[in-house]
Structure 1
Amino acid sequence: MAPLLLRFSSLSRPKPTWNSNHNLLITNQTLVAMESCSSMPELKQIQAQLTRTGLIFHCFPASRVLAFCALSNPPQMPHARLVFAQSPQPNTFMYNTMIRGYTRSTLPSMALLYFIALMREPVEPDARSFVFALKACEKFACVSVGEGVHSLVCKLGFEFDLVVENSLVHFYAEHGRVGCARKVFDEIPQKDIFSWTTMIDVYARSGFGFEAFRMFCLMRTSDVRPNEVTMITVLSACLQIGVLNLGKSVHAIIEKSDFNVTVNLLNALVDMYGKCCCVGSARKVFDGMETKDVFSWTSLLNAYAKSGDLELARQIFDDMPEKNAVSWSSMIAGYSQANQPDKALEMFRAMVAASVEPIDATLVSVLSSCAQTGCLDLGRWIYDHYILEKQIIVGVNLVNAFIDMYAKCGDLSTAAKLFNEMPKRNSVSWNSIITGYAIHGYGEEALSLFEQMKSEGVLPDDITFVGVLSACNHSGLVAKGRKHFEEMKTVFGIEPRVEHYACLIDLLSRVGLLEDVFELVKRMPMEPDAAGWGAILNACRIHGNVELGTCAGDKLLGLDPGDSGIYILLSNLYAGKEKWNEVKKVRRMMRERGVKKTPGFSSIEVDGKFHEFLSADKSHILSEEIYGILDVLYIQFRFKHRQ
């Protein structure tokens, strides 16, 4: 026995992470060894000693074994359950330990079973019993279980216990019950820092930035002083509100107070300034940081990317001493949102080569770039590799990105399959599939989906109506297009934007209703954009309306005098009406402005790489083979035609 005691009774060993007791005075050498236990093999040896001496049947030794099992990482709950079962009279601490342990594990339902057992025993629960039970209830989708615990809190007289009340606020916050959380908060007689910070966080996480800031202002009038966590939460609220001056006022409060200004708080400041497009202030905070982590660098990178300065963002990315998936995702998103999809895809390939696992946000940006470039093969590889092979559980946003990518790349059947298999859809899901059908000319199918969307209680937004009007446009459904345009404002209260007017202008122009187009343009609260005037000019060329076409051409040249397509359309309009002097003026204008016709080209994707070809182009490395195959195809075509 002596060697065993010697092994576990060293007072110089630090306490392991599971042990939170600091004031225990223990004289029994086996129990001293228990206090520094750090592994299951050690625990079993100590437990054997406790069993041999009979100590394991006493509450305190058993509770220490339970504490090790419940608070180790990961929790060792099967072993804890055996220890608990052999205890003749478990006390409140032991019940609480079992509830806490199962809450930390993947079996919160077992935590509630032990809580219910505690309620049925003559053992009195304490505040921690309810705190741990409510923490278990946070892991259930149904809020009613936690409401049952709340009723027991009131029944047993714990409704004025600060720790329990704070736990109730946090529980309701986790379930999105902002009103219930506020009601509990208001009933707390003496609020502490946790009470205030939790309530501010409830509002901030629920999207009520103004309410979160008002709560912070109320807190400052109380006798409770905010701490670092409070200020991080308030900065998040300022970011939601989008008012830079509020964020600056919070920054001033931080500088005037004696907060523990940690890296996390400074990172929150950099993030707030960056997302509010105040890059200079973000850089100033960053440069003043004595210690920087990967989140500091990523927040600054995001600031430059959001402001459109991708060169500096890339420089920061390259200079980062450490990169994580968020850093890569930020750079990829920057390129994707700046309409540089090729660079976004290049960055993603580099990320894969660096063996960095992408997160959902990465894949959403990459799929958007695939949709912009028509890179269907890469989009399919992402689905096969990350979803099918790795069995990643995808959220609604990622499924929406896949639907958008497949639809825009022409694979409508797969887009529809993913959409139909979604257990939960939002307005973006509907918008993506409706727009997909619309741009490929399936107008009736798109409108049918729109009706289904409304019947399922999903309210359309302005983006939905862009898809709906595009569907009418591509299918020539004039009456339905007019009807849906009018219903935007009269039924759904959505004010038409320039994009909606452009769709309707294009629809009316395609069928030659140029007088109606002219009247529509006069009634518009804003000038048509390039798409709208372009549709009018093209329709005037087709239908020979020189007067309106000239007006549209002048407007377009004012918007983009370097676009060669405008001059070509104008020239063709005048030529169709044999106005040769006007044709000469347009061509002279092109020469004087140095505008040259942009040559059209075709592209094809082979093994993930795009190849572009101009007319009579021989620059490709395989030009001879390509033209040889074209000659063969031409000969075969002529031979079959003669037969």
Structure 2
Amino acid sequence: MWSMAASTLLRCFRLSPIKALFLYRVLFHFSSISRPKPSWNSNQNLVVTHPILSCMECCDSMAELRQIQAQLTRTGLIIHRFPASRVLAFCALSDNGDMNHARLLFDRIPDPNTYIWNTMIRGYIRWGSPRLGLSFFCDMNAKKFNFDCRTLVFVLKACEYLSDFLLGQTIHGLAYKWGINFEMLVQNGLMHYYIKMGQLDSARKVFDGMAERDVVSWTTIIDGYSENGHYTDALRTFQCMLTIGVQLNAVTMITMLSVCSQTGFLNLGRSFHGYVEKRFLGENLNLMNALVDMYGKCGCLDSARRIFDLLDIKDVFSWTSMMSGYAKCGDLEHARKLFDKMPEKNVVSWSSIIAGYAQANQSEEALNCFREMLLANVEPITATLVNVLSACGRCGHLDLGRWIYEHYIEKRGLKLSVNLSNAFIDMYAKCGAINEAAKMFHEMTERDIVSWNSIIMGYGFHGHGSEAVTLFEQLKREGVVPDDITFVGVLSACGHVGLVSEGRRYFFDMKAEFSIEPKPVHYACMVDLLGRVGLLDDAYELVRNMPIELDEAGWGALLNACRVHGNLKLGHYAGEKLLGVDPGDSGVYTLLSNMYATWNKWDEVKQLRVMMRDRKVKKVPGLSSVEIEGKSHGFFVADRSHVCSERIYAILNMIYMHSSEKGTNCF
């Protein structure tokens, strides 16, 4: 290493100081030219001519730093503020630094300036100790050291990490008190802070109060709108930015490409792509990754793949963006091939492939990927667990869902966000653990409409209609605005327990009180509700006066009600409608056949079987599954393919014999 050679030369000082100094200058001049400045060194325009300090500018390890510091100490330079600040900056800001070493050095600086204080505050925040950073700020204030704009920006970052909104407002007040609240750097920092704290209105007030704005100001507020789902406002603000002639940068383009990704505005995304090519911004890898992501999410995989293949350098985000594009479009075969080829995988890569399988209802594949991820020692994030829990709910893996709660929430203290809590509620409800779902819901300190929908749907699915209705009334009392999914849940719950008057009232209130137009699924719920209690004429009247066509679920509900209550004529009508919607559904033929058989209409039963044969419709066998020690086992009707089938049937026969002896039938 160059520093080791420098140390050797300095040891020659006693013998030939002039020669050693000359060789030392030549050596470090060459070193500073040949070695790029590392990422910790933000002073890219700083010109350092002193030979020892020039080496400091390219330092990249604590071992090297200690050698340089030893030479600074030996020559007496370490007592001067500038050399000490450079050593401090490396210790506090470098990935290879040491914050404890920085603190020891800081304590020995007799008169630290604002830059040195700022470096310590920034360093503690960067090393995950924002409270210590704030402590330094308070100490700085108590000793009446001068602040600058960067001080407040760093302190706001600490408040952001601590999620302390009141403290951030206090810092805003201090900026006003010190007269620097109108400095552009401070205002940009305040906007960023308010956006991260979810206070978009406060960020907009700061933006509107700015006498002068730069590209960072505009990009920050546009990104704030984008992150909060206000895409129309983001586009409108971007248009204003163009109108006044603000020069765009790569970050602005990345933000707008994200807006295009979320809204599906492919044509707008293409125009941004043209701007990138025109302005020669194609060398920015982050920007090219954003283009790949935009095309992938907009379903234009050919364009995404073209950009991906042209990239000279691909990082993990390049691979993940392309792979996610395939997964989002349902092409899981190409997504998996790309995933397997990735030279490096991070938690986002794993989460994306798991999400692809989960959203395509390939739950077992999603869970297998999750297990592979754990074996690769990659720690999941909240987004990963949300998709894994969704897969658990679909295939009934309650044990795995409980293990996730115990391992990550109870033992590791992972924060239960609203989305993660909702995923647990949904998983528990679908796996039959409705009491655990209810417990999770009632322990939530913050809920959104998805939380309410999940527990209401869960109660309805398990036949607890009264509890679902009670929760719906509580939802309205708390001022939560229901959506169309909420009404699916409450109408379905009313149907399960026969709450006809309540169901009719809620169906009427959808449009009258909440301006929600009923969809086919809502009409299907009402048909099911009326049909279950035998009000078939009312159900038919509702269907006849519908402004839209009833869907397959609605006709199926009407047909089943006719079968149960013996309305052959209306059941025949519903069956014909169903066969017109989906002539390949074997369940329709089975339902109709059972209804005809009940009324001894054997000719009609025979006609249905001939129709099934002519249309090559085969009855889909029933499938049941059971989870044992984390592994799911599936069984078809009369299935003997399982490796333990002989033992299983032997035990079933034994149970059947015992039940027959006692005069009971357990089947």
Same fold (TM over 0.5): yes
> For the Cα contact (< 8 Å) 2:60–2:96, is it kept in 1?
no
Q: 2:452 is aligned with what amino acid?
A: W
Q: Which residue of 2 aligns with 1:552?
A: 574
**Distance 1:613-1:110 versus aligned 2 partners, 3 A rule:** closer
Structure 1, 378-387 or 478-487: larger mean CA deviation: 378-387
2:456 is aligned with 1:431:
no
Q: 1:147 is aligned with what amino acid?
A: Q
2:410 is aligned with 1:410:
no
Secondary structure of the residue that 1:139 maps to in structure 2?
A: helix
Q: 1:559 is aligned with what amino acid?
A: V
Q: 2:595 is aligned with what amino acid?
A: L
**Distance 1:603-1:289 versus aligned 2 partners, 3 A rule:** same
2:383 is aligned with 1:383:
no
Secondary structure of the residue that 1:365 maps to in structure 2?
A: helix
**Partners of 1:43 and 1:340 in 2: CA distance:** 52
**Distance 1:614-1:205 versus aligned 2 partners, 3 A rule:** closer
**Distance 1:357-1:89 versus aligned 2 partners, 3 A rule:** closer
**Distance 1:278-1:625 versus aligned 2 partners, 3 A rule:** same
Q: Which residue of 2 aligns with 1:348?
A: 370
Structure 1, 45-54 or 259-268: larger mean CA deviation: 45-54
Report the Cα offset of residue 316 of structure 1.
2.9
**Partners of 1:546 and 1:227 in 2: CA distance:** 70
Percent of counterpart pairs with the same letter?
57
Partner deviation per Cα, 1:173-199 (whole Å, 9 max, x = no partner): 333333333343344444333223223
2:318 is aligned with 1:283:
no
2:532 is aligned with 1:510:
yes
Partner deviation per Cα, 1:550-601 (whole Å, 9 max, x = no partner): 1101110011112222223223333444444433433332232233434435
**Partners of 1:400 and 1:166 in 2: CA distance:** 34
Residue among 232, 235, 239 paired with 1:217: 239
Q: Which residue of 2 aligns with 1:101?
A: 123
Report the Cα offset of residue 72 of structure 1.
4.1
> For the Cα contact (< 8 Å) 2:61–2:97, is it kept in 1?
no
**Partners of 2:143 and 2:399 in 1: CA distance:** 63
Secondary structure of the residue that 2:627 maps to in structure 1?
A: strand
**Partners of 1:124 and 1:106 in 2: CA distance:** 25
**Distance 1:142-1:319 versus aligned 2 partners, 3 A rule:** closer
Q: Which residue of 1 aligns with 2:18?
A: none
Residue among 231, 240, 259 paired with 1:237: 259
**Distance 1:518-1:148 versus aligned 2 partners, 3 A rule:** same
**Partners of 1:501 and 1:373 in 2: CA distance:** 28
Q: 2:397 is aligned with what amino acid?
A: C
Q: Mark the runs of 5 or more structure 2 residues left unpaired by the alignment.
A: 1-6, 14-20
**Distance 1:67-1:332 versus aligned 2 partners, 3 A rule:** closer
> For the Cα contact (< 8 Å) 2:65–2:87, is it kept in 1?
yes
**Distance 1:473-1:47 versus aligned 2 partners, 3 A rule:** same
**Distance 1:392-1:473 versus aligned 2 partners, 3 A rule:** same
**Distance 1:74-1:177 versus aligned 2 partners, 3 A rule:** farther
Q: Which residue of 2 aligns with 1:174?
A: 196
Report the Cα offset of residue 528 of structure 1.
1.5
2:546 is aligned with 1:524:
yes
2:339 is aligned with 1:332:
no
> For the Cα contact (< 8 Å) 1:75–1:104, is it kept in 2?
no
2:559 is aligned with 1:534:
no
Q: Which residue of 2 aligns with 1:269?
A: 291
Structure 1, 487-496 or 322-331: larger mean CA deviation: 322-331
**Partners of 1:549 and 1:450 in 2: CA distance:** 33
User: What root-mean-square deviation, in Å, do the aligned CA atoms of Structure 1 and Structure 2 show?
Assistant: 3.4
Structure 1, 230-239 or 346-355: larger mean CA deviation: 346-355
Residue among 213, 225, 229 paired with 1:203: 225
Secondary structure of the residue that 2:163 maps to in structure 1?
A: coil
Report the Cα offset of residue 436 of structure 1.
1.6
Q: 1:567 is aligned with what amino acid?
A: Y
Structure 1, 293-302 or 70-79: larger mean CA deviation: 70-79
**Distance 1:504-1:112 versus aligned 2 partners, 3 A rule:** same
TM-score, with length taken from structure 2: 0.85
Q: Which residue of 2 aligns with 1:252?
A: 274
**Partners of 2:12 and 2:500 in 1: CA distance:** 88
**Distance 1:177-1:424 versus aligned 2 partners, 3 A rule:** closer
Superposed, 1:22-421 pairs within 5 Å as 23=46, 59-60=81-82, 62-64=84-86, 66-73=88-95, 80-81=102-103, 84=106, 87-119=109-141, 123-421=145-443
> For the Cα contact (< 8 Å) 1:210–1:241, is it kept in 2?
no
Q: Which residue of 2 aligns with 1:499?
A: 521
> For the Cα contact (< 8 Å) 2:62–2:97, is it kept in 1?
no
> For the Cα contact (< 8 Å) 1:75–1:105, is it kept in 2?
no
2:565 is aligned with 1:543:
yes
Report the Cα offset of residue 385 of structure 1.
4.1
**Partners of 2:414 and 2:176 in 1: CA distance:** 42
Report the Cα offset of residue 33 of structure 1.
7.7
**Distance 1:74-1:472 versus aligned 2 partners, 3 A rule:** farther
Secondary structure of the residue that 1:604 maps to in structure 2?
A: strand
Structure 1, 525-534 or 249-258: larger mean CA deviation: 249-258
TM-score, with length taken from structure 1: 0.88
Structure 1, 551-560 or 472-481: larger mean CA deviation: 472-481
Structure 1, 208-217 or 228-237: larger mean CA deviation: 208-217
**Partners of 2:435 and 2:487 in 1: CA distance:** 22
**Partners of 2:261 and 2:453 in 1: CA distance:** 27
Structure 1, 37-46 or 565-574: larger mean CA deviation: 37-46
Partner deviation per Cα, 1:516-557 (whole Å, 9 max, x = no partner): 101111222221111111111111122222221111011100
**Distance 1:77-1:413 versus aligned 2 partners, 3 A rule:** same
**Partners of 2:12 and 2:100 in 1: CA distance:** 26
> For the Cα contact (< 8 Å) 1:228–1:261, is it kept in 2?
no
**Distance 1:613-1:134 versus aligned 2 partners, 3 A rule:** closer
> For the Cα contact (< 8 Å) 1:404–1:432, is it kept in 2?
yes
**Partners of 1:36 and 1:122 in 2: CA distance:** 34
Structure 1, 563-572 or 402-411: larger mean CA deviation: 563-572
Superposed, 1:580-619 pairs within 5 Å as 580-619=602-641
Q: Mark the runs of 5 or more structure 1 residues left unpaired by the alignment.
A: none
**Partners of 1:150 and 1:36 in 2: CA distance:** 37
Structure 1, 473-482 or 312-321: larger mean CA deviation: 312-321
Partner deviation per Cα, 1:50-97 (whole Å, 9 max, x = no partner): 889987665445544543443344775555556555655443333333
**Distance 1:133-1:309 versus aligned 2 partners, 3 A rule:** closer
> For the Cα contact (< 8 Å) 1:200–1:216, is it kept in 2?
yes
**Partners of 1:610 and 1:561 in 2: CA distance:** 32
Structure 1, 265-274 or 146-155: larger mean CA deviation: 146-155
Structure 1, 542-551 or 356-365: larger mean CA deviation: 356-365
Q: 1:438 is aligned with what amino acid?
A: G
Q: Which residue of 2 aligns with 1:458?
A: 480
> For the Cα contact (< 8 Å) 1:153–1:159, is it kept in 2?
yes
Q: 2:585 is aligned with what amino acid?
A: D
Secondary structure of the residue that 2:662 maps to in structure 1?
A: helix
Q: 1:556 is aligned with what amino acid?
A: L
> For the Cα contact (< 8 Å) 1:5–1:33, is it kept in 2?
no
**Distance 1:319-1:525 versus aligned 2 partners, 3 A rule:** farther
Secondary structure of the residue that 1:138 maps to in structure 2?
A: helix
> For the Cα contact (< 8 Å) 1:406–1:412, is it kept in 2?
yes
**Partners of 1:489 and 1:185 in 2: CA distance:** 39
**Distance 1:161-1:378 versus aligned 2 partners, 3 A rule:** closer
